[in-house]
Amino acid sequence: MFQKPLGRILPAAIAVACVALTTILPGCSAATPPPSGSAPPAAAPTPTPTRTGSGSDADEPETILMSPAPADAPPTTFTFADGESMSRDSDIGWGDGFGHDPGWARDESQSSPGRWTYVNTAGTCTAAFRMGRLGDAGDMNDRQASAALVAVSLQEDLRSFDDVAQDGRFFLNQLGNSWVEHSQFTITINDTSYFTAARAFVKADYDVSVFVTCRGEDISSVANEVLSKNVVTIDLE
């Protein structure tokens, strides 16, 4: 049961503890997380994000348009262990799949360099995206640092969160059957549900994350939509 403040910080000593913010949340109960590996339900064809525009370590995401998945593209996953091959020069970012989606509108009042937020047309859910420098992760690997980012967003004790955060997947680049591993968690606080997913790239000193908030909506289906329409971009060349 969580009784910690909700917010996100970049820890200077991330392996030690979370820093408490000022707003204390009332009694909370964990909700069932969306299934690990959050590709959309089987359909023909599978939606595949296509990147447009360019940018490296930029403040704004690339625009993503949906197109059919290549039928002959082999399934691939950029694992936590694969992050060991990266460097600070690695090109990582978000591909924005909501820019042309009629179901979501960007909320400029909640957007800033490296952070942007979308609100669904019903006004019941928000999806806040972030990308930027990770900060000091100590001796953590990508899996541990990703779980720590999720823990920090929920202000949960990092020492116990490895057993709580679950593995999931972001879409990777423009292949509908390619993914990048992340850590995720879902929680319900009174009548509001939260979903957070994050991937830390320790060697690259970079991270990407998304935080979904819903009131009166099924958080699992909304989180699945968010993960199905937005991609993490990694230059694998």
Of 25-34, 102-111, 146-155, the range with the highest mean pLDDT is 102-111
pLDDT at position 14, please? 27
pTM here is 0.71
pLDDT at position 159, please? 61
For residues 49 and 143, what is the distance between their CA atoms, to the nearest angstrom?
A: 25
pLDDT at position 75, please? 78
pLDDT at position 67, please? 39
pLDDT in tens, 157-168: 666 666 678 899
What is the chain's mean pLDDT, rounded? 73
* CATH match for 80-234 among 3.30.300, 2.60.120, 3.40.1000, 3.40.630: 3.40.1000
pLDDT in tens, 52-81: 333 334 555 443 333 344 455 667 899 999
**Average pLDDT rounded to a whole number, residues 29-52:** 33
Q: How much of the chain exceeds pLDDT 90, in percent?
A: 52
Q: Is residue 8 pLDDT above 60, yes or no? A: no
pLDDT at position 6, please? 27
Amino acid at 162: D
